[in-house]
Structure 1
């Protein structure tokens, strides 16, 4: 199976955390987003990963060689930002007759059993994974009839469907899929100057292709700071890991402290991830992600994300407060 991973996006919604690194290398729950995704792909047999990158491609390549040296990978640079379908099309020369294709976008971490693909796709041409949502107006949705997709509507005004497309697609005939992307691009079928995959799928459906829309168990958004923290909370459930050094501190589960991190005289948790190389001293931290080699001292952090190599030094206070006082210290 050829697995296409478009990772060329700038990750503007995650700035400043993506100013100097690819958005898929941001940490959540003790791992990078990319590690969470690739680990879920390893249940599949005979895979080749095709990364569509930007100028940060060397970061992705170096990370994959270090973390997943056993996985066959290919790297292609998207020089012109012409949309998701254009990014996927760049893998075309490496998709041959007989290849099946899985397309995985990296804004989200999915929870589903990918080894069920052959069964789910036994009587159709592909799978466009979905998740039922209440705020359907924010997404492109799949419209079904008798279990098959008959239409795709972008940000519908009425609840014609609540099955949001989640950025995970399987095509049984990868070469045919690439040909349809080429036809869509040749026809100039764009939205605001960019090529999108729904136009490709609708072209295929009109020509008789059959697609099902299996639901993910979970769809974990990593595209914005607030959703990254939500995903951190979800992934930490039942995972209280202390691999680093902890001295005279209180840990309120769940907390993930990576090997190489040091925590002293602090209160951490719940829902805190501490990356390798961090030093946490005299701090109170909850519901936060602290990335690699950062130092937090004399600080109180809630709902916070610290990037790599951050130094955050607060100031302890000495107070003498009389009876019946009310002190409000807002940050």
Structure 2
């Protein structure tokens, strides 16, 4: 198996955190998004991990992989032109040989599903377009399936509930070389949306040619593309994962909290749903529902629903007040 990971893109929805790092290297629940994803792929024992990077953040991504996963066979190329996700995936073609199966994993989301079931799920079809049933189907591209579970159509942001099976950015193709050929044909045909090539057009061409694709559902679809959804993902991943590897003295911890080795917390109240990265120091503060990244300082602060980047310094101050009966003081 070859695993294709398109990691190009500026991550504009996550700014300012992506001004200095790739969006896949943003931290959530004690790990980078990329580490969460790759860890979930380990059981597949893939022959090669193929990264489609951009020229700005590509070196960061590959340096991270070399440090965290030195045992994996990785290859990288650069998407020089921003021509969409299907174009990005097509750049893996030189590494896909006859007989290879392919798993494509986009890095805006962390998935929760059992990938070891791929052979069983794909026994009577040619590929899997993983999906998640959602209520707000109008926001997504959805799969329309027949009574046998085969995809018969794909609709982008439907106005009516033709389907609630949103595509989650996780795709398996049994014939990887054939998939690359369909990508090339779609690009050569100029099938674009606003100047970019998207995978649904490729998949629909495959279906029209007689290939069978199914839409298995995943257990959880954890969006990491925006600050508010990153915090939601942090809450989900911290469930039943209360870990204190660093130093926490004279501190109240309200589970779940994840404090990495090398982080220091003193005279504070943390939690619930707080992750603190290595090298950070939190003192005399109250922090809840927040992510504190590496080598940052938080002192005399009250934080709620916050994301603090690397090497940041937040220092508050005590207030002196003389407040009479029946008063209301709100500081927001």
- Residue 326 of structure 1 and its aligned partner are, at CA, apart by 1.4
TM-score by length of 1: 0.99
Instruction: List, as ranges, runs of 4+ consecutive aligned residues in structure 1 with deviation greater than 6 Å.
Output: none
Matched residue, 1:14? 14
Matched residue, 1:38? 38
Superimposed CA distance per residue, residues 170-212 of structure 1 (whole angstroms, 9 cap, x where no aligned partner): 0000000000000000000000000000000000000000001
SS at 1:70's partner residue? Answer: coil
- Residue 269 of structure 1 and its aligned partner are, at CA, apart by 0.2
Output the CA distance in 1 between the equivalents of 2:98 and 2:47: 16
Output the CA distance in 2 between the equivalents of 1:165 and 1:13: 20
User: 214, 217, 220: which is aligned to 2:216?
Assistant: 214
Indicate if the aligned counterparts of 2:108 and 2:223 stay in contact, CA closer than 8 A: yes
* Matches for 1:293-304 after TM superposition, within 5 Å: 293-304=295-306
Matched residue, 1:108? 109
TM-score by length of 2: 0.99
Output the CA distance in 1 between the equivalents of 2:124 and 2:331: 62
RMSD: 0.6
Output the CA distance in 1 between the equivalents of 2:135 and 2:90: 32
- Residue 325 of structure 1 and its aligned partner are, at CA, apart by 1.6
Matched residue, 1:241? 243
Superimposed CA distance per residue, residues 109-131 of structure 1 (whole angstroms, 9 cap, x where no aligned partner): 00000000000000000000000
Gaps of at least 5 residues in structure 1 are none
Output the CA distance in 2 between the equivalents of 1:153 and 1:326: 52
Gaps of at least 5 residues in structure 2 are none
Provide the aligned length of Structure 1 versus Structure 2. Answer: 330
Matched residue, 2:274? 272
Matched residue, 1:85? 86
Output the CA distance in 2 between the equivalents of 1:9 and 1:310: 24
Matched residue, 2:230? 228
Output the CA distance in 1 between the equivalents of 2:4 and 2:230: 23
SS at 2:107's partner residue? Answer: coil
SS at 1:76's partner residue? Answer: strand
SS at 1:43's partner residue? Answer: helix
Indicate if the aligned counterparts of 2:3 and 2:46 stay in contact, CA closer than 8 A: no
Matched residue, 2:28? 28
SS at 2:294's partner residue? Answer: coil
Output the CA distance in 2 between the equivalents of 1:62 and 1:104: 19
Matched residue, 2:171? 169
Superimposed CA distance per residue, residues 28-85 of structure 1 (whole angstroms, 9 cap, x where no aligned partner): 0000000000000001023310000012111011101110000110011111010000
Matched residue, 2:121? 120
Output the CA distance in 2 between the equivalents of 1:271 and 1:219: 18
Output the CA distance in 2 between the equivalents of 1:303 and 1:329: 16
- Tell whether 2:294 aligns with 1:292: yes
Output the CA distance in 1 between the equivalents of 2:250 and 2:280: 17
